């Protein structure tokens, strides 16, 4: 086993959390080595060349205007212009009826009121129930995460159609789970930040490039600050040495550092931390905490047509298994002659994990054609299905007590990842926040690298 040079900090994992931690620490003057077991960066936010399709595919990720930390990192990396921004959400019913939610001239929190009142997907009783529910999030959202969103919907008297046409597409799409398995705290955060805080906070941003390509400028930013980035170098073991430093074994090399940031998923982090515990009792106690984290799947269906069949860049699909359609050829501004490439997103897709490719495709295409009949007349050139069994973690009621701080009980050892204590659900923004919080913990100033929150506007400033 070769011996690498001593480093100030080793960051294990080049996903979004690890990248953000490495950049922050390097900018602060630390000598940083970033280790990644995969041959690519981005972690779960990645894209790859599909050998049979000869296309680069990924699972669609989005940001909102309120995601201040990932947007700050994008600005630093010079990639802000690779995000396509939208102020309008289109909700489609199978009968072709459209409802648009977009900001108007009224101040926040009423900036979407006029389009909401005109939305045909809801009747007056539905809108009254939704308005009453949103009012409960004006001042924020519960600090306690013990109540499920299913309980909240029942307690606040939400109508059946309000649930199907408003609460469900937003919550399932944002939190990737059912109402019973989402806490009111994080559902409330979604609505407070994206519907009430300000028009800018609720803007939808979609990466206009495949994810690995999208994140490449952040790797370049890290390397400009002398971060030693090593792929195919997964951490196998770590231990604290007699002089108080850390020794990390990865891909046949022993690395030495003053501090280590484990920016790995909760499964790998559990394994590495357990190896440091000195007793079976301590290992069992740690395992019990990590067992509270449940991965949630997302399935995406990729379709290539010979022509545009939607006339839209993206849309929320109602009363169907599919929650979203993203027309990537339009988002990426493909020339018309290149055809139409779109992605259908099925969140909380546990049933699809047990289904075969052809069954998923047949069902998804049939549902898609009810919304966009023009697809029946177009030529379907090729298709793909991507299952991400561990796409996110579920923000189940009561999970907060198990989400660890970025510091650990071992001096010089820190953890990062969207699953750690960030006050955000499983998102790219949560991942960046975790990396920056971990970097702050390393230098002894937890909030040093955090971007300021987006200020409330209009009447929301009063709340």
Domain of 381: which CATH number?
A: 3.90.660.10
Cis peptide before 192 (omega within 30 of 0): no
Average pLDDT over residues 156-182: 97
CB atoms within 10 A of CB 289: 14
pLDDT value, residue 239? 95
Range of the domain at 217: 2-45+209-291+398-443
| Final residue before a domain boundary, out of 146, 176, 202 | 202
Nearest to 443 by CA among 14, 6, 27, 79: 27
| Final residue before a domain boundary, out of 202, 229, 249 | 202
Average pLDDT over residues 381-403: 97
Same domain, 195 and 213: no
Same domain, 138 and 191: yes
Nearest to 451 by CA among 424, 438, 423, 432: 432
Q: Are strands 253-262 and 2-12 parallel, antiparallel or unpaired?
A: parallel
Task: Give the tens place of pLDDT for each residue, 327-378.
Answer: 999 999 999 999 999 999 999 999 999 999 999 999 999 999 999 999 999 9
Same domain, 416 and 434: yes
Tokens at residue 439, please?
């970097």
pLDDT value, residue 277? 87
Dihedral sign, Cα of residue 235, residue 239, residue 240, residue 241: negative
Let me know if residue 456 belongs to a domain: no
Report whether pLDDT(463) > 90: no
Task: Give the tens place of pLDDT for each residue, 232-263.
Answer: 999 999 999 999 999 999 999 999 999 999 99
Report whether pLDDT(5) > 60: no
Report whether pLDDT(6) > 70: no
Same domain, 287 and 302: no
pLDDT value, residue 39? 93
132 three-state secondary structure: helix
Task: Give the tens place of pLDDT for each residue, 28-47.
Answer: 999 999 999 999 999 999 99
Same domain, 255 and 185: no
Cα-based torsion angle of the residue sequence 360, 366, 368, 372 in order, rounded to the nearest 10 degrees: 160
Same domain, 263 and 333: no
Domain of 118: which CATH number?
A: 1.10.405
pLDDT value, residue 255? 96
179 three-state secondary structure: helix
Helix 68-76 vs helix 211-224: crossing angle, to nearest 10:
60
pLDDT value, residue 4? 59
Let me know if residue 91 belongs to a domain: no
Domain tally for the chain? 3
Asked if 28 contacts 221 with a C-beta cutoff of 8 angstroms, the reply is no
Same domain, 151 and 11: no
Same domain, 283 and 412: yes
Same domain, 233 and 365: no
Task: Give the tens place of pLDDT for each residue, 174-220.
Answer: 999 999 999 999 999 999 999 999 999 999 999 999 999 999 999 99
Nearest to 349 by CA among 194, 189, 178, 222: 178
Nearest to 439 by CA among 155, 62, 91, 26: 26
Let me know if residue 88 belongs to a domain: no
Confidence at 445, pLDDT banded by 50, 70, 90:
very high
Query: What is the DSSP-derived secondary structure letter of residue 6?
Result: E
Let me know if residue 64 belongs to a domain: no
Confidence at 450, pLDDT banded by 50, 70, 90:
very high
Confidence at 7, pLDDT banded by 50, 70, 90:
confident
Task: Give the tens place of pLDDT for each residue, 71-91.
Answer: 999 999 999 899 999 999 999
Cα-based torsion angle of the residue sequence 25, 28, 30, 36 in order, rounded to the nearest 10 degrees: 20
| Final residue before a domain boundary, out of 143, 172, 202 | 202
Asked if 379 contacts 281 with a C-beta cutoff of 8 angstroms, the reply is no
**What does the alpha-carbon distance between residue 204 and residue 85 come to, in Å, rounded to a whole number?**
6
Let me know if residue 87 belongs to a domain: no
Let me know if residue 114 belongs to a domain: yes
Average pLDDT over residues 396-403: 98
Report whether pLDDT(3) > 80: no
Let me know if residue 61 belongs to a domain: no
Domain of 274: which CATH number?
A: 3.50.50.60
131 three-state secondary structure: helix
Same domain, 214 and 193: no
Average pLDDT over residues 49-59: 92
Let me know if residue 35 belongs to a domain: yes
Task: Give the tens place of pLDDT for each residue, 92-135.
Answer: 999 999 999 999 999 999 999 999 999 999 999 999 999 999 99
Confidence at 2, pLDDT banded by 50, 70, 90:
low
pLDDT value, residue 191? 97
Report whether pLDDT(1) > 60: no
Same domain, 311 and 371: yes
Same domain, 236 and 371: no
Nearest to 387 by CA among 275, 299, 276: 299
Task: Give the tens place of pLDDT for each residue, 264-309.
Answer: 999 999 999 999 988 899 999 999 999 999 999 999 999 999 999 9
């Amino acid at each position: 086993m070769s011996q690498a040079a001593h480093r100030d900090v080793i960051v294990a994992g080049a996903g979004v959390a690890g990248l953000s931690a490495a950049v922050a620490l390097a900018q602060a003057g630390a000598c940083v080595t970033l280790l990644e077991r995969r041959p690519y960066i981005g972690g779960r936010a990645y894209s790859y060349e599909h050998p049979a399709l000869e296309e680069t595919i990924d699972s669609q990720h989005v940001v909102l205007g309120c995601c201040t930390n990932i947007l700050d990192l994008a600005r630093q990396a010079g990639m802000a212009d690779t995000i396509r921004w939208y102020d309008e959400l289109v909700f489609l019913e199978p009968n072709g009826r459209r409802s648009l939610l977009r900001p108007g001239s009224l101040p926040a929190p009423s900036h979407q009121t006029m389009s909401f009142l005109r939305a045909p997907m809801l009747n007056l009783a539905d809108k009254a129930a939704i308005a009453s529910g949103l009012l409960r999030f004006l001042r924020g959202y519960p600090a306690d995460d013990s109540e499920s969103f299913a309980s909240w919907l029942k307690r606040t008297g939400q109508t059946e159609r309000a649930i199907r046409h408003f609460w469900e597409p937003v919550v399932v799409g944002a939190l990737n789970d059912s109402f019973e398995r989402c806490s009111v705290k994080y559902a409330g955060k979604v609505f407070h930040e994206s519907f009430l805080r300000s028009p800018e906070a609720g803007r939808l941003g979609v990466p206009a490039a495949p994810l690995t390509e999208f994140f490449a400028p952040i790797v370049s930013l890290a390397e400009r600050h002398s971060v030693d980035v090593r792929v195919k170098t997964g951490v196998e073991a770590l231990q604290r040495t007699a002089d108080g430093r850390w020794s990390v074994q990865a891909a046949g090399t022993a690395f030495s550092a003053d501090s280590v940031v484990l920016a790995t998923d909760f499964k790998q982090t559990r394994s590495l931390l357990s190896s440091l515990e000195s007793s079976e009792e301590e290992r069992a106690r740690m395992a019990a905490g990590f067992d509270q984290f449940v991965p949630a799947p997302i399935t995406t269906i990729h379709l290539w047509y010979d022509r545009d069949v939607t006339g839209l860049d993206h849309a929320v699909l109602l009363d169907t298994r599919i929650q979203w359609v993203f027309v990537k050829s339009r988002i990426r501004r493909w020339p018309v002659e290149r055809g139409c490439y779109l992605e259908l997103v099925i969140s909380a897709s546990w049933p699809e994990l047990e289904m075969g490719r052809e069954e998923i495709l047949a069902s998804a295409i049939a549902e898609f054609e009810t919304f966009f009949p023009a697809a029946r007349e177009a030529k379907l050139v090729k298709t793909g299905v991507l299952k991400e069994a561990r796409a996110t973690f579920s923000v189940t009621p009561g999970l907060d007590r198990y989400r660890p701080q970025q510091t650990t009980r071992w001096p010089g050892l820190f953890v990062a990842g969207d699953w750690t204590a960030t006050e955000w659900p499983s998102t790219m923004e949560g991942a960046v926040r975790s990396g920056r919080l971990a970097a702050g913990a390393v230098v002894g100033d937890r909030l040093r690298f955090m971007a300021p929150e987006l200020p409330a506007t209009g009447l929301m400033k009063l709340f």
